[in-house]
Amino acid sequence: MNITFSSRELRDLVVAWIALGLAFAIFFAGGGQRAISMLLGGSFGLALVVSLLTAGVGFLLHEVAHKVVAVRYGQIAEFRADYSMLGIAIMSALVGFIFAAPGAVYHRGMLTEREHGLIALAGPATNLLLLVAFAPLFVAGLVLGSGILELIGARGLVINAFLAAFNMLPFASLDGRTVKAWSTPVFAGVLALSILLTVGLLLFVGF
């Protein structure tokens, strides 16, 4: 299996990663005015780095997982950013909430319903697997008394659980709709697990 990325695809991934990191950093700051205050105070850069490493990495690996599985099934697959939606993500964060639909992996070729379902499932499943990576960071932050590690770990856990739950909703072009069309038990199981993890992590590690 040969995974390659075109120059346009790499550009779209990087732009979407940075735009989402910026949007989440503004959102975590509490909106535009507080983000500006943090920028003037010199602390916004840290907030941006944390968002790039949590929400940004979660998004990147989610999309790359879709591509890898699609290519595994013989598809021609590439990520395309939706620049208008990236703008909306940043604008929504400025007013205190966030709506992010940064783009999607588009593929072409003949597929079975099961293959369609597994390609869709790959993204949310990757977000759930990322919990295994962020949990040790959170624990290390607690043990070492490192607020930065604890923050990255906590946000990485909650954001990736939320991304899995959100993308498993069976609406519009979200992954859950395609997974449900293939297997209702798999859809229900992954959605329920993602929701439970999101709620549990919010209660346990905060946000």
> Within 10 A of 131 (CB to CB), how many other CB atoms are there?
17
- Cross-strand bridge partners of residue 110: none
**Which among 63, 78, 115, 150 is annotated as catalytic?**
63
Cβ-contact 147, 48 below 8 angstroms? no
- Residue 167 vs residues 63, 140, 143, 148, 188: alpha-carbon distances, Å: 12, 29, 33, 28, 13
Write out the two tokens for 37.
């205050």
Give the C-alpha distances (Å, rounded to integers) separating 23 from 30, 84, 140: 11, 13, 27
The angle formed by the CA atoms of residues 198, 161 and 158, to the nearest 5 degrees, is 70
Annotation says 63 is catalytic: yes
| Residues recognised as catalytic | 63
